[in-house]
Structure 1
Amino acid sequence: MELIIVTGMSGAGKSVAVNALEDLGYYCVDNLPPKFLLPFARLTLQTEGKEDRLALVVDARSKDLFTEFEREINMLDEQDIRYKLLFLDASDETLLNRYKETRRKHPLMDHRITSLEEAIDIERKSFEGIRSRADYIIDTTFLATAKLKKEVNNLFAYEVNQTMQIKTVSFGYKYGIPNDADLVFDLRYLPNPFYVPELRNKTGEDDDVFEYVMATELAETLFTKLMDLIEYLIPLYMEEGKSQLVVAYGCTGGKHRSVSFARRTAQHLKNKNYNVVTQHRDIERK
């Protein structure tokens, strides 16, 4: 049985993620109280004709979430029931805007917690332990619905060879560092194609921009040293049991230098038969 536990910040996109998992053939149960995690998993394992792909959503709508969730996760580990924990996250500002747009009430708001800002802060602090145990973290701050579905598909479409997924991300520092990044490399000291008129409106996906970024000895030396580091770290992360490694490259706007390095890194690692996906977070920003 493939068991995925979906959780994360309220408003971060869990419903979209579950819909994507359902499309992949997972049997999905939404808003499951934490105390039912172990019994539900056991029942599914023991039932003849059982669903072999199961996704369970546990979040702040369950009032006993924070007191019982970690305990139930520990019990799954003790029973040797294998699972993947998917955590959906987004910046506080993004969550605030989403709630204001939908006019929905945050599940933690009651007669004691009347402020949306306070509810989000309490939820984030309460989730720290669970988030640190997640196999996969998806930061939806800048992800449209279609892109979030694609992220989920990349992660769980047949669990490619059951190997650790390496995700190369490009981003612009002016829009913030990705929350889910494990390794972050700053490329702002490399020559910037933005100041070349014929390249300004292109991106690192275009070959002439890519070649411009990679043409200098500085870029070539940097890439070689970074690959030495990343390839050294990959087996260590795998040995630790990590399911996803996010390697993020940042430049000023997230269109030229970072895209070029993320693109080249992905191709380099694919040539070595690693399971690699790429996300250019800010490439479409104006």
Structure 2
Amino acid sequence: MTATHAKRVLLVTGLSGAGKTTALKTLEDIGWETVDNFPIRLVEGLLKTPPPSSRGDQDPPLALGFDSRTRGFEPNNLIERIKKLQDNDDLLISTLYLDCTEGELERRYAETRRRHPLALDRPAKDGIDLERAQLEPIRRWADHVIDTSNLAANELQQQIRTEFDLAGSADTTITITSFGFSRGLPTNIDLLFDVRFLSNPFWDSNLKSKTGQDQEVAAYIAKDPAYPEAIEKILEMLKFLLPKYQAAGKAYVNIGIGCTGGRHRSVHVAETLSKHLRKAGFSLSVAHRNLASRPMEALESMQKTNGKKGI
């Protein structure tokens, strides 16, 4: 079976409270068959089971939810099982990890008055820390990570619909993510472009509080002499590579665009690249990881090159 016709299997996991239930319900709404808390050791048998009679002759893609509460959960053994499954040419297996900051998870547990499953008689923070440590090998292994810290439920639903819609299931899912190097490097990036060489609007007092989505900021960045050629060369590389990934059956391609703080240059360049790629016929989504982050001069001052601040 070719990669294009292989059965899609999405393993959905992450921190308790980060949105796994929402993700699985959304996947089910758009046509996936979903099973939560299913022991991975039983996956081989499940995949051999015919689809439900209600689906006729269709064998829909399968989304399996699991976390630290799942029977037999052990991260390293789980990764080895996934590797063995990936050796099957009839299966196209990916892993989606839902992450969230500790503070936001604590807030969610406090608001819902739920107890963390790993800290039933202790503060939620204890359970969050324990679960994060347990799941860290899975997070590093996952080929798709969504940080839900700043996402409302409907925003997470929209992102799931955009990235896993079955209407384009034969195509590679392309995501462009802007981010700030000073706030940490994303773990799921396939192609990384550093745009810190461009003029930084942060150091213009009239632009500091704005973002790369504002026209004034975009104009400021575009005035940099290196800007036109840089955009042209990045686009040329992406237009060459993306069809190669699609032909190879790669399910996801994550493109990272980084600047210092993740609010100005990377945001604008990500938006610009996405517009050109869509005009070229590529279907993709854009995420701005640090767009809502508070501007901090200490972060922007971390790097100085040739006397030019924030590069």
TM-score (norm 1): 0.79
Letter in 2 for 1:58: F
* Cα deviation, residue 76, structure 1: 4.5
Quote the residue 2:299 is aligned against. Answer: none
Letter in 2 for 1:30: D
Contact 2:31/2:60, CA 8 A, preserved across alignment: no
Residue number among 101, 120, 125 corresponding to 2:132 in the alignment? 120
* Cα deviation, residue 278, structure 1: 0.7
Q: How does 1:1-286 map to 2 (within 5 A)?
A: 3-45=9-51, 49=56, 52-66=60-74, 69-70=78-79, 72-73=81-82, 76-77=85-86, 80-90=89-99, 93=102, 97=106, 101=110, 104-107=115-118, 116=127, 117-125=129-137, 127=138, 132=141, 134-160=142-168, 162-238=170-246, 241-286=249-294
Letter in 2 for 1:82: L
Show CA shifts across 1:125-177 (max 9, x none).
3x26xx53x45332334434333222211111125162212211122344333
Mapped partners of 1:85, 1:98: distance in 2:
30
> Taking structure 1 as reference, are residues 78 and 217 closer, same or farther at Cα in structure 2, changes over 3 Å only?
closer
> Taking structure 1 as reference, are residues 18 and 181 closer, same or farther at Cα in structure 2, changes over 3 Å only?
same
User: Which structure 1 residue ranges, 5 or more long, are not aligned?
Assistant: none
Contact 1:35/1:68, CA 8 A, preserved across alignment: no
Mapped partners of 1:19, 1:242: distance in 2:
25
SS in 1 for 2:11: strand
Letter in 2 for 1:246: N
Letter in 2 for 1:85: S
SS in 2 for 1:262: helix
Show CA shifts across 1:11-35 (max 9, x none).
4321121122122233322111223
User: Which structure 2 residue ranges, 5 or more long, are not aligned?
Assistant: 1-6, 295-311
> Taking structure 1 as reference, are residues 97 and 252 closer, same or farther at Cα in structure 2, changes over 3 Å only?
farther
Contact 2:38/2:70, CA 8 A, preserved across alignment: yes
How many pairs does the alignment contain? 279
Percent of aligned positions that are identical:
30
Task: Indicate the RMSD between aligned Cα atoms, in angstroms.
Answer: 3.5
Contact 1:5/1:57, CA 8 A, preserved across alignment: yes
SS in 2 for 1:210: helix
Letter in 2 for 1:104: R
> Taking structure 1 as reference, are residues 141 and 147 closer, same or farther at Cα in structure 2, changes over 3 Å only?
same
SS in 2 for 1:245: strand
Quote the residue 2:305 is aligned against. Answer: none
